[in-house]
Amino acid sequence: KILIGLTNYQSQHLARQGITRKVEIIPYGPDLDKFTMKEHRTRVDGYQFIHIGNHNLLKDQFTLLKTFCKISAGLPNSKLRIIGYDALNGELRKYTTQLGIDHLVEFTGSVPYNDIPHYLQEADVILHTSVFEGQATVISEAAAAGVLLAGTRVGLLYDLGDKYGIIVEPGDADGLAEKVLSTIEDPRAFLSYIT
């Protein structure tokens, strides 16, 4: 019998848990009728960052906010939109205030799935800092929409590797911020990731 996995990352975790059955990797793909490549635009007034995921410790949005705090210091007027149900009872909002970035971060709460393509069309960079993912379908949707992928080496980002996105180890807010800033400062590097 064959197990179906979403990513090689997930398959490796199964093997570490002693699962010896063959794993066939079949990732979810984006609906290309909904998630379409946008025309890249050079920003002069700041970048729009996005994070899509319910607020929970597995998604590690505290690292996300630390990362964005460092990015916003180097990219004035940049904004972060966080979409997802708040299962942490406002802790992320409190943390944005502690970091002094509450005026730069918008919390939308949950939104209808059909609205996600619109939000991705407005975004320049997706920040995804989970400590574990089976896949993270939002990564393939963001890639289909021409959004720069930046996050931790888990799920689909692990499988895609550094050629297709800016990737660091889980918890590395400093490294992720530094890589994002250096990529944005180099238009050719930025375009190489999204085209």
Q: Which residues make beta-bridge pairs with 55? A: 86
Local structure of residue 103 (DSSP, 8 states): G
pLDDT at residue 41, rounded to an integer: 65
Provide the 3-class DSSP secondary structure of residue 131.
coil
Q: How far apart are CA 63 and CA 56, in angstroms?
A: 12
Provide the 3-class DSSP secondary structure of residue 95.
helix
Tell me the pLDDT tens digit for each residue of 82-129: 999 999 999 999 999 999 999 999 999 999 999 999 999 999 999 999
- Which range is most confident: 29-33, 85-89, 191-195? 85-89
pLDDT at residue 42, rounded to an integer: 64
Residue 150 dihedral angles phi and psi, to the nearest 5°:
-145, 125
pLDDT at residue 83, rounded to an integer: 98
pLDDT at residue 191, rounded to an integer: 87
Q: Which of 56, 155, 54, 156 is nearest to 107 (CA)?
A: 54
